[in-house]
Structure 1
Amino acid sequence: MATSNTSWGIEVGSGGIRAIKLQADGDSIKVLDFLSYDHAKVLTTPELDLDDALRVAVGTLVSRHDLSNSRIAVSLPGHQSFARFAKLPPVEAKKVPDIVKFEAVQQIPFPLADVEWDYQTFVSPDSPEVEVGIFAITRQRMMERLNLLADVGITPDVATLSPIAAYNSFAYDLEFTENTVGTILLDIGTQATDLVIAHSGRVWVRTFPIGGHQFTEALVEQFKLPYSKAEKLKRDAEQTKHARHVFQAMRPVFTDLVQEVQRSIGYYQSLHPQADLKRLIGIGATFRLPGLRKFLKQQLQIDVYRLEQFKRINVDGPRAGEFQTASLNLATAYGLALQGLGIATLEANLMPVKMIRNAMWKRKVAWFGAAAAVAAAASAAMFIRPVMDNNAITAAGTPTQFDAAIREADGAKSRAMNAGVLTSEGEAAAAEQMIGLFDASEVYGHIVSDVGQIIARAHEAARAELPAGQLLFHLDRITTDYRAPEGAAGSSDMGGGWNEPGMDYMGGDEWSIMPQAIPGRSAAPSQTAQSDEPDEVKSLRRVRVQVVLNTTHPAPQDFEIEVIEQWLAANKTRNGVPYTIVAVEEPGRFDRITTAPQTGFQPGPRSPFPGSQGIPTEMIPDARRPVNAPDQFMIDDRGNPDPGQRTDIDLERVAPIAPQPNEIPRYTSQFTLVFYAVLDPMPGGGQS
């Protein structure tokens, strides 16, 4: 898009083409050029070739005036576009675009995919209400207008509705503010009339199908004249001695016009009862008709003015008189040029984004060439200096202290290799291990999902034996410990527990833990984290998973073998899960709690979730819905995810971290579950 401080506003109407070129000069605006050209025949003339007439008009503009190096703004007829207004519900500012889009779907009588649209919000300081104006045109009509302009080499930067441009011209020229008296702008065009109401910083637009064409048709019918002669009689009516007869012939159209204006004012005042409209300003050539202003004033009972000249722009020199005469028809072009300069009150732009982007790149092609030349020169300068510096360093030789440091480092590396501290793979293997951690970044999400499914299955099995609303387990902590294969370079425990072992979630007294025997097993505590590891996994990449759960059930061990170990065996390998589950010899251990914590909830001093509370509602989420994808994945009756899908069971619901305040149960047992997640081989068969 052009960034010039000059702008052309171009209105291609049914009566003619109007254009003005403005230049921003500090806080003021200068008129550099203008054009007010009437078609040889108005475009409503029967049997007229509209395309040819428009091409002639636009060609005249391009041939007489230089449009290059300026921004270009064009108008879209009000009767071929849409302007709708609605009040928005009170919402946050960031949600306004979504609400506006919903309103656009309701207000625009076409699918949004078939229109170009934009919007503007209006807010008054004395009212909390937010109103929105939605402006649109069908893409078909837009492309017809753009193709017409493209035939003569014009690509606009801005395209907006004629009534919006007319309002922008008066808002700037008369310096509208929120305290400006209520004003009606009436632009009577050839085919339709645009009515704009400006009041308290708000704008309202209505277009109705009464214009100069209807006045001409009235003369054709009354005096039995050809259309062209009736059009000429209408234009010269003010100078003819038959002005009274001409007015009488057009009186029915005057009446229809006034009725539509009254309907529009009445409707607006029904929406805004406080609106006090004091004046009407008329623009357009039709306002030259004799008696029109007087008739409107009598019927509407407000002051009626006709635009004679602008207040903030003018033309000096020999064209001053011509500019003042043309001012009545230049209001829309004036507003367009202001928007092209970026100083318009309403900034609705219906130009297709793709065309704006193409125009922007087209204008920048010349700059790319210059930039490339500058870059080449800079690159050459940057290249020469490093070459010179390198030659100087080479000539100086290597300092002796550098050589000594290199020899010492090589010796230390050799001694480390001989001692077995480093493997032959060296740093490359360690780097491969670190990359492998990122390759398995989804592992922990699946582990959380599996823990949730295990707890959910235990809840299902215990449902009949639990009081209503009570859960079998309450989650204390999950600890994970990643382990590299034994003998791999840099092999060490690279642990990462979500909560460190022994972290106290509940404030108050410490719990005393006593080992509890499980039928058919030793009553001694389970093996340590090092000794419980099966031999078959020591040469593989694996994650040791330890889950600690609290329970109030008197015999929770009944569910450990029947449910949990069965689940671990049944789900050892699954499609879409990047690891294999390997159970330890004794995956579960129960410890009896002899002293319950105090009543009342206080988050532990090291809890990563201060103030977090459990939600003792349903024991299993409705429909077992995954948390991160509420409507995409399902879990079967066995608690298994669909093949290839990841399921996120909501641990906070099936095993809350902590219960509600003042409802803390007296836990009787603590259950520790251990299993290994053996990771799938890395790409290329690596196991480091």
Structure 2
Amino acid sequence: MAKPKKILVLDLGMQSLRLAEFSIDKNGELTLSRGASKDFLLDPTMEQSRPEQIRLSVQEILKSWGLRSADVCCILPAHSVFTRVVALEIPGGSVGSNDRIKEVISFEAQQNIPFPLDEVAWDYVIMGETASGAVNVVFVAVKSDLLESICQSLRSAGLIVVSVTAAPLALYDAFRNTYPECAEKTTLLLDMGSRTTNLVIAGPGTFFARSIPSGGLALTAAIAKELHAELEAAEQLKVTRGSVSAGVTAEHHSDQLDSSLALVARRVLLKTQSDISRSLSFYLSTHGGQGPSQILLTGGMAGLPNLREFLTERFQREVHFFDPLRTLSAKDQPSTVTSFIASHSNNLGELIGGALTLSGESSYTKVELLPPSLLKRREFFKRLPFLSSAAALFLGTMAVWYGYFSYEEGEIRGLTSGLRAIVEGETRLASGIRQVMEKTESVQKTASDLLSLIELRSAYPNLLSELSAKIPQRYLWMTEIQPVGDAPQKISAKSSDPIVVKALLVKGLYLDNPRQAAVIDDFVNSLQSSDLFSVNENEKSKIITQRGSPSGDHWAYPFALRIPLRNPLTFLP
């Protein structure tokens, strides 16, 4: 009996990633075989390290699964992908000439994608027609450098990206395959994630998607501000004790903290709900669609207590949870899979949509968002048979040339034996000359070191005198001066390398004064005319490494400067 086909799907979120393995039997039945998730660092300032976090997290999951390498479908979060639905007037509609459709769409892509097309990976999907006959085209684009960094991280971890799609499209695919009875209804899918709330509207022959920059992280930040807490602590409170207040007149929690958390959540979600309503109005006015007859809730925020009831109250329409597992096979599932489903019940839609995308048979939004490096790799494998034939011809030619050069080699070997004796004599003479030159260089280095020592006797007094001359007479004084190089250097008695001082680290205090921290800028500006220090106007931000903010609670505030030397000082070990 043939083994089921295995499919790996990676869903990249703002705060976590989820990796799932699906199997498809010969009947096309999709089964979740196993899944795992890893959380990222919550601090938004760590965004630059996200590719490395992805690599380490995926490596850990693959190691626990006993996998070294596999193909994967990657689902990008909505905040990193540009998605726009445009109604285009195309002669012949969506069933017209393919060449004509591609020509119109290529032109419209330049108008609707807000980046140069050579800097992005982009694709499109035709999603039916409007009532007026215009063709609904969904443009999807992602910056190539971002896509390259993600694919490279996954490749380093052992995953080869064969397909890339966006979260809204994957969610739409999961909905269309899970709720076939809703094909003639208009449904609003609310995917409330960490950074964004994604709206996906699926109707008869229509599609609309929009991302609202408000999600779980906005609520975490609001809790942190309300309670004066750190972001991590606020996130923990949101997860363990958070809920949504039923309203100002509703009965509050007996616990003051729980009540405060619920009111903060309601305040944040009222703004989000207002943005959702405006997006719905835009959809109805520009795309001529019908209002949603049902609302399905999903995403990491969906599990927040009373959120579904809050949305039901605000939209005056019953809100249900999106269940992407309705049509999946649940037979013989191990406890690990059951546990994974239970803990991520609101985050499985994108994974299932990605599996459907990779299977190809049930995908409604097939797009190809591969970076240039993977496209070149795919093109290479297409040309591999022709390259193999060319390589065989090349090797045959090389064999003929090898016979010719073997004969010539014998002739040349006789000539080189006579020259070898001459070269050996010249080599001995060159060795003697080299020894004399090495001794000369050693004497010159010693002389140079002695001259440097003489100059260094007055180096620090001159630097201190220059600082004293340039520092403002009032409000500011220095408490510590320390020589530094490119990086912190540990001086060791056993070190044989010279110590190079390239800057002075100056620390001090400035008094609470009418000009406040501007006296630090005066000090730096005065150093621009110095013959000993290299201070440029456009590098002031690098020189001022600490600038204490005056709060009125102290009489003085700290500052720190890293002042480059115009001529570095070299100390002998």
- Give the drift of 1:140: 1.5
Partner residue in 2 for 1:318: 335
Q: Does 1:57 align with 2:72?
A: no
Distance 1:172 1:261 in 2: 25
Q: Is the 8 A contact 2:130 2:287 kept in 1?
A: no
Q: Is the 8 A contact 2:59 2:158 kept in 1?
A: no
Matches within 5 A, 1:346-425: 346-352=365-371, 354-356=373-375, 358=377
TM-score under structure 1 normalisation? 0.49
Q: Is the 8 A contact 1:170 1:176 kept in 2?
A: no
Q: Is the 8 A contact 2:123 2:369 kept in 1?
A: yes
Q: Does 1:159 align with 2:174?
A: no
Partner residue in 1 for 2:150: 145
Partner residue in 1 for 2:272: 257
Matches within 5 A, 1:436-451: none
- Give the drift of 1:20: 1.8
Distance 1:236 1:45 in 2: 24
Partner residue in 2 for 1:195: 199
Helix, strand or coil for the counterpart of 1:319? helix
Q: Does 1:247 align with 2:252?
A: no
Helix, strand or coil for the counterpart of 2:29? strand
Helix, strand or coil for the counterpart of 1:75? strand
Distance 2:161 2:210 in 1: 25
- Give the drift of 1:51: 4.5
Q: Does 1:223 align with 2:227?
A: yes
Distance 2:4 2:43 in 1: 34
Cα offsets for 1:445-477 (capped at 9, x unmatched): xxxxxxxxxxxxxxxxxxxxxxxxxxxxxxxxx
Helix, strand or coil for the counterpart of 1:23? strand
Partner residue in 2 for 1:341: 359
Q: Does 1:331 align with 2:349?
A: yes
Distance 1:111 1:312 in 2: 41
Cα offsets for 1:385-413 (capped at 9, x unmatched): xxxxxxxxxxxxxxxxxxxxxxxxxxxxx
Q: Which protein has the larger Cα radius of gyration, Structure 1 or Structure 2? A: 1
Distance 1:201 1:176 in 2: 14
Helix, strand or coil for the counterpart of 1:14? coil
C-alpha RMSD of matched pairs (Å): 3.1
- Give the drift of 1:123: 2.1
- Give the drift of 1:218: 0.9
Cα offsets for 1:158-189 (capped at 9, x unmatched): 0111111111111112226641x211111112
Helix, strand or coil for the counterpart of 2:346? helix
Q: Does 1:183 align with 2:187?
A: yes
- Give the drift of 1:137: 0.8
1:60 is aligned with what amino acid? E
Inter-CA distance 96–176: structure 2 relative to 1 (3 Å threshold): farther
Question: Among 291, 294, 306, which residue is 1:291 paired with?
Answer: 306
Partner residue in 1 for 2:24: 24
Inter-CA distance 137–162: structure 2 relative to 1 (3 Å threshold): same
2:359 is aligned with what amino acid? L
Give the aligned length: 366
Distance 1:220 1:311 in 2: 38
Question: Among 237, 241, 244, which residue is 2:241 paired with?
Answer: 237
Matches within 5 A, 1:230-629: 230-237=234-241, 242-307=257-322, 310-315=325-330, 316-319=333-336, 321-325=338-342, 326-342=344-360, 343-352=362-371, 354-356=373-375, 358=377
Distance 1:235 1:362 in 2: 48
- Give the drift of 1:67: 5.6
Distance 2:89 2:383 in 1: 43
Partner residue in 1 for 2:544: none
Partner residue in 2 for 1:44: 44
1:324 is aligned with what amino acid? I
Partner residue in 2 for 1:120: 125
Partner residue in 2 for 1:395: none
Cα offsets for 1:475-509 (capped at 9, x unmatched): xxxxxxxxxxxxxxxxxxxxxxxxxxxxxxxxxxx
Q: Is the 8 A contact 1:149 1:155 kept in 2?
A: yes
Helix, strand or coil for the counterpart of 1:351? coil
Partner residue in 1 for 2:500: none
Q: Is the 8 A contact 1:307 1:327 kept in 2?
A: no
Q: Is the 8 A contact 2:90 2:134 kept in 1?
A: yes
Partner residue in 2 for 1:463: none
Helix, strand or coil for the counterpart of 1:157? strand
Q: Does 1:168 align with 2:173?
A: yes
Distance 1:288 1:345 in 2: 28
Distance 1:363 1:72 in 2: 20
The 10-residue stretch of structure 1 (26-35 or 340-349) with the greater mean CA deviation from structure 2: 26-35
- Give the drift of 1:307: 3.2
Cα offsets for 1:180-205 (capped at 9, x unmatched): x2111111121112111111132111
Q: Is the 8 A contact 2:89 2:133 kept in 1?
A: no
Inter-CA distance 308–234: structure 2 relative to 1 (3 Å threshold): farther
Higher helix share: 2
Partner residue in 2 for 1:455: none
Inter-CA distance 278–189: structure 2 relative to 1 (3 Å threshold): same
Distance 1:47 1:68 in 2: 27
2:106 is aligned with what amino acid? K
Helix, strand or coil for the counterpart of 2:320? strand
Q: Is the 8 A contact 1:43 1:53 kept in 2?
A: no
**Structure 2: tracts of 5 or more residues without a match:** 244-252, 392-573
Question: Percent of counterpart pairs with the same letter?
Answer: 24
Cα offsets for 1:599-658 (capped at 9, x unmatched): xxxxxxxxxxxxxxxxxxxxxxxxxxxxxxxxxxxxxxxxxxxxxxxxxxxxxxxxxxxx
Q: Is the 8 A contact 1:6 1:341 kept in 2?
A: no
- Give the drift of 1:275: 0.8
Q: Is the 8 A contact 1:44 1:213 kept in 2?
A: no
Partner residue in 2 for 1:655: none
Partner residue in 2 for 1:111: 116
